[in-house]
Amino acid sequence: MFDKEVMWQTVSEAARVGIAGHIRPDGDCVGSCLGLYNYITGNYSCEVDVFIEELEEDFSFMRGSEKVITTFPDEKPYDVFFAIDCGDIERLGKAEKYLKKAVVSYCIDHHGTNPGFAGENLIVPEAAATAEVLFDLADPEKITKNCAECLYLGIVHDTGVFKHSNTTRHTMEVAGALLEYGVSSQKVIDETFYEKTYLQNQILGRCLMESILCMDGKVIISAVDRKIQALYGLVSSDTDGVIDQLRETKGVEVAILLKEMNPRVWRVSMRSRYTVDVAAICSKFGGGGHVRAAGCMLNGSVHDVINTLTREIEAQMGQNE
Ligand SMILES: [Mn+2]
């Protein structure tokens, strides 16, 4: 059984602690990893390594981001290893080996589809962000401004600036408490959430222009094939925010963004507004996530993929009626 007192006791006795987030990290992943990193280094004497695979975006805003290790050398086992914001063990990528070899391993997450793959697991699906879970684990007296800034960023990103349906009273209370450590809310929100590079804006424009509506305007779909990715030299984070903008379309319940990873292999991102459980759909195809935000991989032509997904959406909407 998970026990936070035991967890901090274990950390206090450890010589080496490892922390890893998921591949293709988002704001909550990096904010949570660095929030935990700052918390442990600020309060305990152990050595701490923080690993994030495929860290592409500029997260230099956060203290500790320069410490992130993006290579995965073989090392002696960690005394304690944390998997942070990882819905399943595959999402740990190359850090999986550290988790398996660690003396004690913890999985701290908020994805409802998480099976609990570590030695000790704390999965809180009601939490809007893993950063919110971490705040609840922390001793408020031991949180520093650097730690608070990272956790605040995590919450801002996973709630789409406190607007997604995952935002609860508790989420707001945690965010409010974090402000008291001197976090600049405006700076975090503007500089890490709304600010886009020129390229990101170009791709956003293109995805909106080429989007299609189906199912009587209830579903919107946009696809970024390999040709487009090569033309612009895109990296994964360049399409961040596109799906959220698609979902803002009036009348739309489900937004889908398809990215071609290999010929006829698509990474599917899904968002819903009020009723459709996209985690249930993505789970059917080996993916997962949250009720209103999930993803999976599908093979075939873009039309095959669209047909497969709209069939599932239709089936669910039929049941909801
Ligand atoms: Mn998260």
Domain ranges of the chain: 4-194, 198-320
pLDDT digit string, tens, across residues 234-256: 988 899 889 999 999 999 999 99
Q: What is the pLDDT of residues 106-140, one digit of tens each?
A: 999 999 989 999 999 999 999 999 999 999 999 99
Contacts for 307 with CB less than 8 Å, ≥ 6 apart = none
For 274-311, what is each residue's pLDDT tens digit?
A: 999 999 999 999 999 889 999 999 999 999 999 999 99
Lowest mean pLDDT among 119-123, 161-165, 176-180, 309-313: 161-165
C-alpha of residue 310 to centroid of ligand 1, in Å: 26
Beta bridge partners of 258: 223, 268
> Helices 130-137 and 27-43 sit at what angle, rounded to 10 degrees?
20
| One fold for 4-194 and 198-320 | no
CA distance 239 to 251: 23
- What confidence score (pLDDT) does residue 321 get? 61
Are the C-beta atoms of residues 255 and 270 closer than 8 Å to each other?
A: yes
List, as one string, the DSSP characters of 33-64: HHHHHHHHHHH--SEEEEE-TT--S--TTSTT
Helices (H) and strands (E) in the chain, counts: 12, 11
pLDDT at residue 76, as a whole number: 85
CA-based nearest residue to 136, from 157, 155, 159, 118: 155
Q: Ligand 1 centroid vs 59 CA: distance in angstroms?
A: 16
Centre of ligand 1 from the C-alpha of residue 249, in Å? 24
Average pLDDT over residues 2-13: 97
Any idea which architecture 198-320 has in CATH?
Roll (3.10)
Distance from Cα 167 to the centre of ligand 1, integer Å:
12
> What local confidence, expressed as pLDDT, does residue 154 receive?
97
Compute the distance from residue 321 Cα to the ligand 1 centre, in Å. 30
Residue 22 Cα, ligand 1 centroid: separation in angstroms?
A: 10
Mean pLDDT in residue range 88-92: 94
117 C-alpha vs ligand 1 centroid, how far in Å?
17
Question: What is the pLDDT, as a whole number, of residue 54?
Answer: 80
Residue 320's pLDDT band (cuts 50, 70, 90): low
CA distance 119 to 116: 8
Going edge to edge, which strands form the sheet with 120-123? Answer: 47-51, 16-20, 80-84, 104-109, 120-123
Interatomic CA distance for residues 162 and 4, integer angstroms: 27
Dihedral-angle region of residue 116 (phi above 0 means left; psi in -120 to 50 means alpha; beta otherwise)? left
How big is the chain, counted in residues? 321
311 C-alpha to ligand 1 centroid (Å): 28
Contacts of 270 (CB under 8 A, 6+ apart): 243, 254, 255, 256, 278, 281, 282, 293, 294, 295, 309
Measure 29 CA to ligand 1 centroid, in angstroms. 6
- Contacts for 248 with CB less than 8 Å, ≥ 6 apart: none
Cα 254 to ligand 1 centre (Å): 20
Collapsing DSSP to helix, strand or coil, 207 comes out as helix
Q: What is the pTM of this model?
A: 0.86
Q: How far apart are CA 49 and CA 10, in angstroms?
A: 16
Instruction: Count the neighbouring beta carbons within 10 Å of the beta carbon of residue 23.
Output: 18
Residue 57: both structure tokens together: 């975006």
Going edge to edge, which strands form the sheet with 212-214? 212-214, 219-224, 254-262, 265-272, 293-299, 288-289
Q: What stretches of the chain adopt beta strand conformation (E)?
A: 16-20, 47-51, 80-84, 104-109, 120-123, 212-214, 219-224, 254-262, 265-272, 288-289, 293-299
Domain 4-194 belongs in CATH node 3.90.1640.10: yes
